[in-house]
Amino acid sequence: MSKYDFQAIEQKWQAYWAQNATFRALGPGDEGFDASRPKFFVLDMFPYPSGAGLHVGHPLGYIGTDIVARYKRMTGHNVLHPMGFDAFGLPAEQYAIETGVHPRDTTRKNIANMLRQLKAFGLSYDWDRELATIEPDYYRWTQWIFLQIWGSWYDEEQDKARPVAELEQALEAGEYLVGEDGDLVSAGSEGARTWQSLDESEKREFIDGRRLAFISGVPVNWCPGLGTVLANEEVTNDGRSERGNFPVFKRPLRQWQLRITAFAERLIRDLDDLDWPEPVKLMQRNWVGRSRGASVEFRVAGSDEAIRVFTTRPDTLFGATYMVLAPEHPLVETVTVPDQRQAVSTYQAEAGARSDVDRQADSRTKTGVFTGAFAINPTTGEEIPIWIADYVMMGYGTGAIMAVPCHDSRDFEFAKTFSLPIVPVIAPDPKWLAQQAEAIKLEEDPLECYLADPTVFPEAFCGQGTSINSANREVSLNDLSTAKAQQRIISWLEQKGLGFAQVQYKLRDWLFSRQRYWGEPFPVLHGPDGRIQPVPESELPVVLPEMEDFRPSASDDPEAEPKPSLGRAPEEWRLVEVEGQRWERELNTMPQWAGSCWYYLRFIDPHNSERFVDREKEHYWMGAGGVDLYVGGVEHAVLHLLYARFWHKLLYDLGHVSTSEPFRRLFNQGYIQAYAFQDARGVYVPASEVVEEDGSFYHNGQKLTRSYGKMGKSLKNAVAPDEMFAEYGCDTLRLYEMYMGPLETSKPWITRDIVGVSRFLQRVWRNFFDKEDGSLLVSEEAASGEIRRLLHATIKQVTHDMETLSFNTSIARLIELNNALVGLDSLPREVAEPFVLMLAPLVPHLAEELWQQLGFTESLAYAPWPDFDERYLVKEEVEIAIQIMGKMRGTVCVAPDAVEDDVREAALAEEKFRRHLDGKTIRKVIFVPGRLLNIIAN
């Protein structure tokens, strides 16, 4: 073979791998499985099968994981490397609606197309494990897991989820009682009722109220444009749907929710042990949003009512000069005095009508209305006014706050606007005072002025400090630091029964139902008396009914009622007869994220019809902390990764999986970006048709402006892989994508640059085969010392880079090695073989071909990864940097084991170094063996 015929080679080896099932992963129970080898589970975030097809940016991460998978096979691991499709959900359904074809047909077609495109990249997936979340064999188990969640409660004492049946047993046995407020209390609690004293419906209500999947009527995100409700995570900052950018409204609706909040603490705590990018951990911590503080009760003056608030600064309690309720707070109706009723309800109506977008727009100016009622500050005994204002949210804490205007910037603004009293209870630190005084050019003593009137400065002091003005007959916080003051006030509050230390989370329960067609049906039946009953496990899956019209009931009207698509399903699906009564199926479907919460587990055992995953197989592949490497984009930092961790922990608590976390190591790949071009009207023109002339860009003679962004349809700057395959081949494309830069960063696609790696592969070929007759140039002669040293240095570096996924630098080292081989008459086998093995993960087709040409009859997929020998890394001579007074002046060559005196002598022997020392005395010499000598003189 005289020419590198990539087309023929790539076809040949892809066929070979398929025929020989080269990448079939053997696990426990499979014939030929070798349990003595370590396992490696390397996973990609599986894609949505969109109709648009792939561009060169999509497979970036897949190429990365493929290289790791191939490398790990060569280092003796049993590798699990699967791929599948996340095919339920809005994108697939929206696409189906656009084309008017049933989503099952469009998604299956899209999957087939995407499979074809993926396979062309020569990725070493075990395709026998391919799965799609839309197949009944798969979503049967998604439904099964939902039933596990429904059948569980959270045991706070044991800090884990447990089956509801165990709760019922414990109640039956009297280990627990039902408290006055309907809460769960331990035996012996005062005023508690026994389980037996409850009637059937009370019992059911009690249990249903503790389930981890429950129906509740809290305000949810209603998106009429999509015809469905959405999770908090699916709503953007400006109150729109992440999918489709439709407006979203808060409305109280009865919906399914999953009690993810029960796991809040563990979802934060367990991040510590994960090998994840710090920014992702931080985003998750922020999303869960843990804050410590106190719950405090304020009595309403002249009434039996009390307002409970959460505060992170109980130490400022003496400074609470008013209270604010969220406009939606239930106590607003009871406390408002008749004179203020009109103003209050007007304000409530206004606040209710404002969308989140409006509230966002003028978040700076504070509005509110006095209710006419007063609460009593428990520390001072003073009556403080109760206001309502939309800067307090119903969704966080208790929906009410104690306002400490002197030490909270929002309360400060509000108090200034409505002339409410502002009392300092923390002495600001001198640095802050000095800064503030500087800002307003204050001449007098800043502390004195501040204490006299805290509004002299434009800002409130919100930091920690020493408490002042904080004492009553029973307790004094004065002169205490913030931490100490908090401790003291909390113990005082506890003593008085007015409050206690509390931890609050930002995380809300997960809104889990959607009114769309294209999702997993809930395996739940609703009885005529409002009872809920699960579909028995033996009857799973509940298959989506065939429907002509699967479109959602979308609307522009925010008042439109949600109408699940399944409401139009045929009666024989909707209605089920149980013991002579007609029960109706749940008509909502599960959200997109359900299927992706556990797919990694199904890959372990994709065809099991008895269990969602075989225990022994799960134990093997998920051992040592779960998936060994999980690669995907940062966009899933909160949504998918938080939901999946939640489900996994629940399955762990119930004993269904063996690790408490699903993904031990997470890696975020960057994006491939590309230049995009707009004409004078701002319309994007296809980047492929743009011509460059003297640094300007033209399309049909029109001058264009150039911008830069993520590759895709909207910017018309996508590059299709097919063109690249045709011109350069798949190995070259793979290599270029890895060579562009670090896998984790975003970087620009520049088609011109691909010739660099193409030339490299051509040159590799020419090093192996004679240009004229195509004969193999490999010889059995030993390599020279220099080539051998370079080979071993390359093995060392490339091996290291494989572990850190630094493929760009390993490729650079391989290019260097290859360049060094160019001048040789023949290629020593001792270099050729390890060189091919190192190329194998990166350019597998070419490497297989070379391996075969070297005389091997089997695939190199499981050939042992080359080792390096430290002995060969020793150079005969090393260059030592010579610095005079810390400045680089050149280098000297010495033996690698040269000591300071040798190097110094060699340096001083040369005029070019001595020159800089003329007339100076050497004061000090710094020597770093093998690297540098620095002579200090004056």
- Contact between 136 and RNA per CB under 7 A: no
Answer for which of 20, 201, 334, 360 binds RNA (CB under 7 A) is 360
Q: Applying CB under 7 A, does 707 fall inside the site for RNA? A: no
Q: Are strands 369-376 and 290-300 parallel, antiparallel or unpaired?
A: antiparallel
Establish if 442 lies at the interface with RNA (CB under 7 A). Answer: no
**Where on the phi/psi map is residue 316: left (φ > 0), alpha (ψ -120 to 50), or beta?**
alpha
Which residue, 185 or 283, has its beta carbon nearer to RNA?
Answer: 283
**Per DSSP, which regions of 159-242 are E strands?**
160-163, 176-178, 184-186, 213-216, 219-223, 228-230
The binding track of 890-909 with respect to RNA, each residue x by CB under 7 A or -, is -x------------------
Percent helix, percent strand, percent coil in the chain, to nearest 5: 40, 20, 40
List 753, 786, 803, 897, residue binding RNA (CB under 7 A): 753
Q: Taking the complex as a whole, how short is the minimal distance between the CB of residue 282 and RNA, in angstroms?
A: 6
**Minimal distance, residue 325 CB to RNA, in Å:** 10
Under rule CB under 7 A, residue 581 binds RNA:
no
User: Strand 84-85 vs strand 581-585: parallel, antiparallel, or unpaired?
Assistant: unpaired
Residues in the chain, overall count: 938
Does residue 12 belong to the site contacting RNA (CB under 7 A)? no
Nearer to RNA, 390 or 653 (CB): 390
Q: Which of residues 181-240 bind RNA (CB under 7 A)?
A: 237
Beta bridge partners of 828: 779
Cβ 109 to RNA shortest distance, Å: 31
* Piece of the chain touching RNA by CB under 7 A; list 106-114, 181-189, 289-297, 378-386: 289-297
By C-beta, is 756 or 785 nearer to RNA?
756
Residue 84 and residue 131 in contact, taking contact as beta carbons nearer than 8 Å: yes
Q: Closer CB to RNA, residue 41 or residue 310?
A: 310
Q: Does 466 bind RNA (CB under 7 A)?
A: no
In the complex, minimum distance from the CB of residue 746 to RNA, in angstroms, rounded to a whole number: 7
Whether the CB-CB separation of 685 and 679 falls below 8 Å is answered with yes
Q: Which residue lies nearer to RNA by CB, 226 or 880?
A: 880
The H or E element spanning position 926 is strand 922-928
Measuring CA to CA, which residue among 153, 223, 212, 56 is closest to residue 726?
Answer: 56
Which backbone phi and psi does 603 adopt, to 5 degrees? Answer: -60, -30
377: tokens are: 């500050």
Q: Is the dihedral of CA 637, 643, 645, 648 positive or negative?
A: negative
Which residue's CB is nearer to RNA, number 52 or number 822? 822
Residue entry with tokens 């509050």: 493
Regarding beta strands 131-132 and 84-85, do their DSSP bridges make them parallel or antiparallel, or are they unpaired? parallel
**Smallest distance from RNA to CB 811, Å:** 7
Rule CB under 7 A: is residue 819 a binding residue for RNA?
yes
Among 136, 279, 570, 686, binds RNA (CB under 7 A): 279
What DSSP string describes 412-424? HHHHHHTT-----
Interface pick for RNA out of 885, 906, 917, 937 (rule CB under 7 A): 885
In 711-775 the beta strands, taken as DSSP E runs, fall at 747-748
What one-letter code names the amino acid at 122? G
Beta strands in 417-463 (DSSP E): 426-427
Q: How far is the CB of 535 from RNA (least distance, A)?
A: 35
> Which of 135, 748, 856, 937 touches RNA (CB under 7 A)?
748
Half-sphere exposure of 593 (CA within 13 A, CB side): 21
Query: CB of 836: closest distance to RNA in angstroms?
Result: 18
Q: How far is the CB of 244 from RNA (least distance, A)?
A: 17
Check: CB of residue 179 under 8 Å from CB of residue 172. no
Nearer CB in complex with RNA: 290/568: 290
582-601 footprint of RNA as x/- string (CB under 7 A): --------------------
Q: Which is nearer to RNA, 80 or 267 (CB)?
A: 267
Please check whether residue 713 is in contact with residue 95, taking contact to mean a CB–CB distance below 8 angstroms.
Answer: no
Of 52 and 357, the one with the shorter C-beta distance to RNA is: 357
- Reference 710, options 53, 234, 242, 55; nearest CA is 55
* Using rule CB under 7 A, residue 654 touches RNA: no
In the window 608-647, what residues touch RNA (CB under 7 A)?
A: 634, 637-638
Q: Counting contacts by CB under 7 A, is residue 118 touching RNA? A: no
Residue 683, both tokens? 């319309």
Please list, in sequence order, all residues whose beta carbon lies within 8 angstroms of the beta carbon of residue 29, skipping any fewer than 6 positions away: 614, 616, 617
Q: Is 431 in the site for RNA (CB under 7 A)?
A: no
Could you say whether residue 283 binds RNA (CB under 7 A)?
Answer: yes
Distance CA 713, CA 54 (A): 11
Measure the CA–CA gap between 29 and 767, rounded to whole angstroms: 45
- Which of 108/359 has CB closer to RNA? 359
Q: Residue type for 355, please? A: S
Q: Does 706 bind RNA (CB under 7 A)?
A: no
Tell me: does residue 357 bind RNA (CB under 7 A): no
Site string for RNA, 820-849 (x = CB under 7 A): --xx--------------------------
Q: Toward RNA, which CB reaches closer, 185 or 881?
A: 881
Q: Compute the distance between CA of residue 451 and CA of residue 427 in angstroms, rounded to an integer.
A: 8
Residue of the chain from 396, 684, 868, 872 that contacts RNA (CB under 7 A) = 396
Question: Does 887 engage in binding with RNA (CB under 7 A)?
Answer: yes
**Window of 6-14, 334-342, 358-366, 642-650 that interacts with RNA by CB under 7 A:** 358-366
Residues 487-516 that bind RNA (CB under 7 A): 504, 506
- Which two structure tokens, joined as six digits, stand for 871? 């002995």
Rounded least distance, CB 529 to RNA, Å: 37
In whole angstroms, how close is the CB of 829 to RNA at the nearest point?
22
The interface region with RNA, picked from 133-141, 385-393, 646-654, 861-869 by CB under 7 A, is: 385-393
* Cα dihedral: 597, 603, 609, 614 (round 10): -90
Q: Per CB under 7 A, which of residues 291..310 are in contact with RNA?
A: 291, 293, 310
Cβ distance to RNA smaller for residue 243 or 602: 243
Q: Which of 676, 673, 646 is nearest to 662 (CA)?
A: 646
Half-sphere exposure of 791 (CA within 13 A, CB side): 25
Residue type, position 91, single letter = P
Q: Which pair of structure tokens corresponds to residue 15?
A: 């066929």
Q: Is 681 in the site for RNA (CB under 7 A)?
A: no
> Site residues for RNA, window 73-92 (CB under 7 A)?
none
Residue recorded with tokens 């389930």? 211
User: Total residues at the site for RNA (CB under 7 A)?
Assistant: 84
Structure tokens at 765: 């070929």
Count of beta carbons in the 10 Å neighbourhood of residue 7? 11
Closest to 296 in 3D by CA, of 285, 308, 287: 308
Interface with RNA (CB under 7 A), residue from 22, 50, 94, 762: 762
Q: Interface with RNA includes 712 (CB under 7 A)? A: no
The position carrying tokens 């710090």 is: 278
- Which residues does 931 contact at the CB level (< 8 Å), separation at least 6? 880, 881
The yes or no reply on residue 816 touching RNA (CB under 7 A) is: yes
Burial class from Cβ neighbours inside 10 Å (0-12, 13-18, 19+) for residue 21 reads exposed
Q: Which position among 3, 759, 914, 920 is part of the footprint of RNA (CB under 7 A)? A: 759
Question: Residue 695, interface with RNA (CB under 7 A)?
Answer: no
Instruction: Find the part of the chain contacting RNA (CB under 7 A) among 107-115, 132-140, 311-319, 531-539.
Output: 311-319
Q: Binding RNA by CB under 7 A: which of 757, 778, 790, 840?
A: 757
Q: Is 368 in the site for RNA (CB under 7 A)?
A: no
Instruction: Provide the minimum distance between the beta carbon of 58 and RNA in the complex, in angstroms, as a whole number.
Output: 18
Which residue, 227 or 314, is less far from RNA as judged by CB? 314
Asked if residues 641 and 255 have their Cβ atoms less than 8 Å apart, the reply is no
Binding of RNA by 247 (CB under 7 A): no
Please give the distance of CA 642 from its chain centroid, rounded to a whole number: 7
